[in-house]
């Protein structure tokens, strides 16, 4: 049982585990592992709560449907799976400002929050624009050898590497 209390596993082992989880997901859930649509659904549900039923009539929400489905529960499950893993290994910690960010931009939570909000806007907007994220395109799509997913995944990293280089200074 030691393995469950270890802080980290080999990334190769973790990846292989996600690969096997994908087999099971295709076989038993009849769905690939993917995450980002659930965030769009939640956003639409919150807006519907604030602005009324007409929000659900938007063309995009007609397409993705504002319902709690398999994928929405998958994302919720990730929160608890990660919590369980972190608690078992003693790796759970409440952090406002991650180390690398603090070294570059200081440890003021407000500045980190501003970065997280702006980053989140780009991430959410871009994930819907590309119709997938690092899991839907980056893992599930690429393993199906889908052209749209390989192009997306490559451009996720091109955009990310260039932005990180600008934010942190190249390779420092």
Dig out the tokens for 40 from the structure: 């769009």
Q: Applying CB under 8 A, does 5 fall inside the site for other proteins?
A: no
Min separation Cβ 53 and other proteins, Å: 15
x/- mask, other proteins, residues 78-107, rule CB under 8 A, reads xxxxxxxxx--x-xxxxxxxxxxx------
Q: Applying CB under 8 A, does 108 fall inside the site for other proteins?
A: no
Q: Applying CB under 8 A, does 124 fall inside the site for other proteins?
A: yes
Residues between 132 and 171 that touch other proteins (CB under 8 A): 132-165, 167-168, 171
Min separation Cβ 32 and other proteins, Å: 6
Residue count at the site for other proteins (CB under 8 A)? 129
The DSSP secondary structure of 96-138, one letter per residue, reads SS-HHHHHHH-S-HHHHHHHHHHHHHHHHHHHHHHT--TTIII
Dig out the tokens for 141 from the structure: 């799509």
Range 122-128 contact pairs with CB under 8 angstroms and sequence separation of 24 or more: 124/36, 124/39, 124/40, 124/43, 126/159, 127/36, 127/39, 128/36, 128/40, 128/60
Query: Which position among 1, 2, 27, 49 is part of the footprint of other proteins (CB under 8 A)?
Result: 27
């Amino acid at each position: 049982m030691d393995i469950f209390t270890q802080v980290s596993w080999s990334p190769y082992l973790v990846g292989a585990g996600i690969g096997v989880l994908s087999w099971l997901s295709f076989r038993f859930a009849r769905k690939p592992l993917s995450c980002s649509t659930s965030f769009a659904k939640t956003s639409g549900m919150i807006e519907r709560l604030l602005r009324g039923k007409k929000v659900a009539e938007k063309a995009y929400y007609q397409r993705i449907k504002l319902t709690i489905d398999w994928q929405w529960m998958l994302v919720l499950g990730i929160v608890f799976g990660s919590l369980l893993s972190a608690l078992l290994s003693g790796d759970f910690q409440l952090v406002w400002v991650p180390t690398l960010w603090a070294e570059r931009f200081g440890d003021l939570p407000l500045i980190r929050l501003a970065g997280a909000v702006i980053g989140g806007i780009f991430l959410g907007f871009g994930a819907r624009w590309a119709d997938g994220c690092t899991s839907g395109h980056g893992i599930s799509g690429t393993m199906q050898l889908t052209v749209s997913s390989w192009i997306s995944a490559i451009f996720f990293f091109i955009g990310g590497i260039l932005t990180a280089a600008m934010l942190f200074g190249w390779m420092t």
